[in-house]
Each structure stands twice: as C-alpha cells, then as structure tokens.
Amino acid sequence: MSSFSNLQLAPSLARAVAEMGYESMTPIQAQAIPVVLAGQDVMGAAQTGTGKTAAFSLPLLQRMLRHENSSTSPARHPVRALVLLPTRELADQVAQQIKLYAKYTQLRSTVVFGGMDMKPQTLELKKGVEVLVATPGRLLDHIEAKNAVLNQVEYVVLDEADRMLDIGFLPDLQRILSYLPKQRTTLLFSATFSPEIKRLAGSYLQDPVTIEVARPNETASTVAQHFYSVSDDDKRRALRQVLNQNGLKQAFVFVNSKLGCARLARSLERDGLKTAALHGDKSQDERLKALDAFKRGEVDLLVCTDVAARGLDIKDVPAVFNFDVPFNAEDYVHRIGRTGRAGASGLAATFVSGSDQRLISDIEKLIKKKIELEAVEFEDDRPRGRFNSGRRAWAEEDPRDAMESSSPPSRDTGSRGGRGRPAAPPADPFFNKPYEPTVRAEDAPAASWEAAQAKSSRSVSSNIKTKRKVPALFKSDEPV
C-alpha cells in the first residue's frame, strides 16, 4: 500500500494525518488524491468506510492552502469548498473528519443540516468559512436567508450522490449548482453508477477521471452470511439465539419501516436487551444520542432503517441482522457492509420468512451466490424467565403508515404479520419486566474490534452533546 509520505502533503496536513494514525493510504485515497491534486474532476465509486472522506478532503485542503490567512475579517474567508451529503449524520461525520484534517491549518470549516436551529449555523457562516459541509435542503435555506454566499466556490463534492438522488434531492442539487461558478473542480462519489448518476455527472463534471474501488455487489469475504428460515413470530427469539450462540454483544438490526423499527426496539428492550432505535422520525438529537450510546457500548442493539443508517461511520460491528429482508437487494450489500470490515470477521444473519422469496432471489442475483436457507434450532422453547411475547406491540400495526423512502409503498413492510395475529395477551405489568438476559455485556469476551475502540482518536462533534469522550468503532491502527 502506498504511503502518505509519497504525496508531499503540506506539513500542516501531514501532521494531522500522522496524528490520525493512518499508516498507508486506502485504495480510494491512493487513486483519488493524486488526481484531485492535479485539478481533475473525479467520478468515484466508493462507499462510506473506504476512506473516501480523506480521499477528497486532503487534496482539497492542500489546494486551498494558498487561501490560508489569519485575518479576522469574514470577507477573507469565503466558502471555497462545498461538500454536499444526503443525511445529517453523514454531514456531521464528514465535517468532523475535515476539522481533524484541517486542524493545523488556518482554513475554517463548518457544517449545516436540517433539524437544528438555524441561528448557531448562521453565526458560524457569518464569521466566514472556507469549507462548508451541508445537506441540500438546509443549505438552500441559508442561501435564501443570504447567510451563505457561494460565488467563490472552487471545489464541490457531491458525496453519496446516489442516495441524494434516491431521497429526491435532484432539484435542490440543481439549484445549488446553479449558484456556483462554472470554473471549478467537481468530485462526485456514489456507491453505484446508475444511468441517473451518469446523467448528473454528464451535466456537472468536466472530463472526470473514473475511480472505482468497491463495486456495490461485492460483499466482503470476511462476512459470514447466514440466511435463516424463520416465521415472523419467531424472529425475535431467533435474534436472541443467534446472539447468544455467537457470544455477540452488539449488533445492528435492520428493519424496513419506521414503525417496525420503533416497535421492534421496544419489544427487544422488554426482552432485556439494551436497545435504541434509529429511524427518520427521530429528532436529530435523539439519533445522535442513540449512535453515541451504541459507540460507547451502552446500547447492545441499534435497530435501524436503511435511510437512517445510511452512511453512518460505524465499522467493525460484529454482527448485522436483517430482521426484514430489504426490498432493494443493494441495501442488503450496504447493510452487511457494516460488519467484517478491515479484515475483521463479521456475521450477517438474515431472517427469511415465507413471503420473501422474490427478494432473496434478487439478492442471490446481485451477490452472485446461491443462498441456502438454514433452520433455526431453538435451544429453549421460551427464554429464561417470563416475558412478553411482544405480540401486543405488533397487534394493531399498519406498516404502510411508516415507510421510509427506500421501500416501495405498496408492499407490506418488514414489520410483517401485524394483521391477523393472535389476540394480545392480557395487560399484566409483570410481563413488562425485562427478563434476565443470558449474555451480559460484562460477561461476554471482549471482541477484538472493541479493543480497537480504546485506541481511537476520534472526537465528538460539537453537535453531539455527550459528557464523555466517544471511542470510535474502527481500527485506527490498521490499514483499511
């Protein structure tokens, strides 16, 4: 792998990189950094987790150093680089990383996204920033309020462009891009190069260099993929069983609907697992808190929808559960990409019920592997202690109320079987008492990915109000 020292980065940037503990460049960095330094546009196929933030921000910062100045005048710090991302979490994470890389320079950066008060963002913008990280909707609000002036932008990054189009940001992107000078460098990153992405690139990029590092249908060979045939009623039990059998302490649990997400999280909580839900209806503060609690190990299971989890910078999670088979096969690849990263082994368990056959064959086609369904052999008929079967929680659900954008609205969702289920058990406060879980956090053997957390140097964003330092879930001491 190539070393950062070959790049001849400015000492201020090289120092920041050294502090991050990066030993060598990741493939996207090795390919993209020289191209961006040379001033060419880039169309990059790379997912979050490949080191793509550094791949675009280091060369952009290097090129912007010529504008570096210590003046306190906002006019001397116009926006020179604009980084657009689809979600608040992604924007926040990318902004945090850029701050770290720019730490020893005099270049300023900030982030604006929706769901937060505009005022503090406005104050930051008015002070002047060279790098502006933003989600499209909130950026337009600031442009309209004349808080952000973009006529001196020289560099634009459209990150997770496929997701921005999926979410319906194309008109917003077109408007934003219309405010920018034509003479600029544009970098577009996307997990896929769909015809829409190619059209977007055709309209806004000039002779881009195409860089591909991880195709969307590639699943890491370090991920053990299991597909369990299990009825909707038995999925929660199956989840606990797979966790216990594998001595797993933490996992992501994916579902297809917002409502299903909230309800599953509550049911699992009642089963005695420390659980948090991450979905589009959660406030920004709640989402960031849930994520932080998971990173700190205070939450065992993070139950999430695809939209809410997209792009979250959490790696080396030991297991990913597809409680619902995703509607889009590509989401399967995205979901399980959370585990088995950087050479660590991971487990991806997918619960398949009778109605999922078509979705499973879509996944088979995408990953080009035959999927063998396994049966779950339950060790015990009931978990220890008395517990609420959780059926009550699902009883009156109409999953169509709560779809997030990645799922087709006409289909039944992952929180399946809501209708026609057996009657709810009678209300009895005893049932709501959590049962004693079989594996407790403190009993479980420390996984290697956890040990790596302690070494991490990532800090918490000013947007995340935590009292303690948050360790990250990646191996900062190993090459990606």
Nearer to ligand AMP, 92 or 356 (CB): 92
Of 338 and 392, CB closest to ligand AMP: 338
Span near ligand AMP by CB under 6 A; candidates 220-228, 292-300, 320-328, 472-480? 472-480
Nearer to ligand AMP, 1 or 441 (CB): 1
Q: Which of 9, 13, 16, 26 binds ligand AMP (CB under 6 A)?
A: 26
**String of contacts with ligand AMP for each residue 43-82, x by CB under 6 A:** -----xxxxxxx----------------------------
Which tokens sit at 362?
């879509």
Q: Judged by CB under 6 A, which stretch of 42-50, 323-331, 366-374, 393-401 contacts ligand AMP? A: 42-50
CA nearest 279: which of 298, 250, 255, 251?
Answer: 255
Instruction: Name the DSSP letter for residue 384.
Output: S
HSE-CB at 49 with a 13 A cutoff on CA atoms is 25
Nearer to ligand AMP, 51 or 216 (CB): 51
Q: State the minimum distance, in angstroms, from the CB of residue 310 to ligand AMP.
A: 12
Using CB under 6 A, pick the residue from 9, 13, 22, 160 that binds ligand AMP: 22
What three-state secondary structure class fits 124? helix
Stretch that binds ligand AMP, among 24-32, 187-195, 198-206, 381-389 (CB under 6 A): 24-32
Residue 163 in the binding site for ligand AMP (CB under 6 A) = no
Shortest Å distance, C-beta 97 to ligand AMP: 6
CB of 476 vs ligand AMP, minimal distance in Å? 6
Residue with Cβ nearer ligand AMP (32 or 148): 32
Cα torsion angle, 9, 11, 13, 17, sign: positive
How far are the Cα atoms of 140, 188, 414, 462 from residue 172, in angstroms, in the given order?
7, 16, 31, 27
Q: How far are the Cα atoms of 94, 149, 178, 185, 480 from residue 37, in angstroms, in the given order?
A: 20, 25, 25, 10, 22
Residues 307-336 that bind ligand AMP (CB under 6 A): 313
Please write down the HEC assignment for all residues of 152-177.
CCCEEEECCHHHHHHHCCHHHHHHHH
How many residues of this chain bind ligand AMP (CB under 6 A)? 16
In 3D space, the residue among 133, 187, 110, 179 whose CA is nearest the CA of residue 155 turns out to be 187
Amino acid at 41: D
Shortest reach from residue 388's CB to ligand AMP, in Å: 39
Write the DSSP assignment of 227-242 as a string of letters. EEE--GGGHHHHHHHH
Contact 74, 152 (CB under 8 A): no
Q: 160's torsion region: left (phi>0), alpha (psi -120 to 50) or beta?
A: left
Among 9, 13, 16, 25, binds ligand AMP (CB under 6 A): 25
Element of type H or E holding 42: strand 42-45
The minimum distance between CB 238 and ligand AMP, in angstroms, equals 31
Compute the least distance from the CB of residue 204 to ligand AMP, in Å.
22
Where does residue 408 fall: left (phi above 0), alpha (psi -120 to 50 degrees), or beta otherwise?
beta
Binding to ligand AMP by CB under 6 A, coded x per residue (else -) over 182-201, reads --------------------
Least distance between ligand AMP and beta carbon 30 (Å) = 9
Looking at the Cβ atoms of 142 and 295, the one nearer to ligand AMP is: 295
Interface contacts to ligand AMP, rule CB under 6 A: 22, 25-26, 29, 48-54, 313, 474, 476, 479-480
